[in-house]
A and B are shown apart, each in its own frame.
Chain A
Amino acid sequence: EDQVTQSPEALRLQEGESSSLNCSYTVSGLRGLFWYRQDPGKGPEFLFTLYSAGEEKEKERLKATLTKKESFLHITAPKPEDSATYLCAVTVSARQLTFGSGTQLTVLP
């Protein structure tokens, strides 16, 4: 059974304090790994898709990387508006995503 584990469960950072979120996965035949951001009371918002080990993608202060066993979401010099829950998901069939439980990020001003 596909499994996705995210750590830490919660992370509090000072504004400007860079850090990384981890997503480790166990799947047979990874077709894609996704990062989503979710604000309270809203649906997840797409950030990145990674398809193969070694791939990296960047968007503003966020950078996602992928290895054969895990993915990292690096946050450089975060701002309070980056506060959200970050969700990682994997797909093997393209018909469904298997999500982790998320990392709740709080960036303090």
Chain B
Amino acid sequence: DTGVSQNPRHKITKRGQNVTFRCDPISEHNRLYWYRQTLGQGPEFLTYFQNEAQLEKSRLLSDRFSAERPKGSFSTLEIQRTEQGDSAMYLCASSRPGLGTYSGANVLTFGAGSRLTVL
């Protein structure tokens, strides 16, 4: 088990370009999450998948953002027509249910993140 893997680790792009990030979760984890983190702030929730179904999306997730998780394995987060305000660290996390007193209160394992800089 190598943990949650994210690629690329760093991406520099020009405003208006499209970018895509990939996340490979821990193999036995069926839940996958995307978060965004800016400097000095905590991570902000973007979206949640259980297996291949996208079950929750934050209102932060504008229509320029799309996430997929085909076959319930890896996930991609695409940002179209990037803006300078999209510059942030994009974090992926995965979890499995059933841990803890409340079976739904999962422990998330985060990847190292993909840092996006939009010029």
* Alpha-carbon distance between A46 and B57 when the two chains are bound, in angstroms: 23
Q: Mark B98-118, 1 if CB is under 8 A from A, else 0.
A: 001110111111111100000
* Alpha-carbon distance between A46 and B106 when the two chains are bound, in angstroms: 11
CB pair B104–A99 under 8 Å, yes or no, is no
For the complex, is B41 an interface residue (Cβ under 8 Å from A)?
Answer: yes
**Chain A residue total in the interface (Cβ 8 A):** 27
Binds B, one of A62-70, A72-80, A87-95: A87-95
CB pair B4–A43 under 8 Å, yes or no, is yes
For the complex, is A97 an interface residue (Cβ under 8 Å from B)?
Answer: yes
Binds A, one of B12-20, B42-50, B66-74, B76-84: B42-50
Nearest CB in chain B: distance from A24 CB, A = 14
Q: Which residue of A43, A89, A98, A100 has the most chain B CB atoms within 10 A of its CB atom?
A: A43
CB pair A101–B42 under 8 Å, yes or no, is yes
**Chain B residue total in the interface (Cβ 8 A):** 27
Which residues of chain A come closer than 8 Å to B113, judged between CB atoms?
42-43
CB pair A51–B102 under 8 Å, yes or no, is yes
Selected contact of B100 from candidates A32, A45, A95, CB within 8 Å: A32
CB pair B112–A32 under 8 Å, yes or no, is no
Selected contact of A46 from candidates B42, B105, B108, CB within 8 Å: B108
- Give residues 19-53 of A contacting B (CB, 8 Å): 31-32, 34, 36, 41-46, 49, 51-52
For the complex, is B27 an interface residue (Cβ under 8 Å from A)?
Answer: no
Residue of B nearest to A44 (CB): B110
CB pair B42–A94 under 8 Å, yes or no, is no
CB pair A51–B48 under 8 Å, yes or no, is no
* Alpha-carbon distance between A52 and B45 when the two chains are bound, in angstroms: 23
- 6 A–B contacts, CB within 8 A, in A order: A43-B91, A49-B107, A87-B42, A91-B105, A94-B102, A96-B45
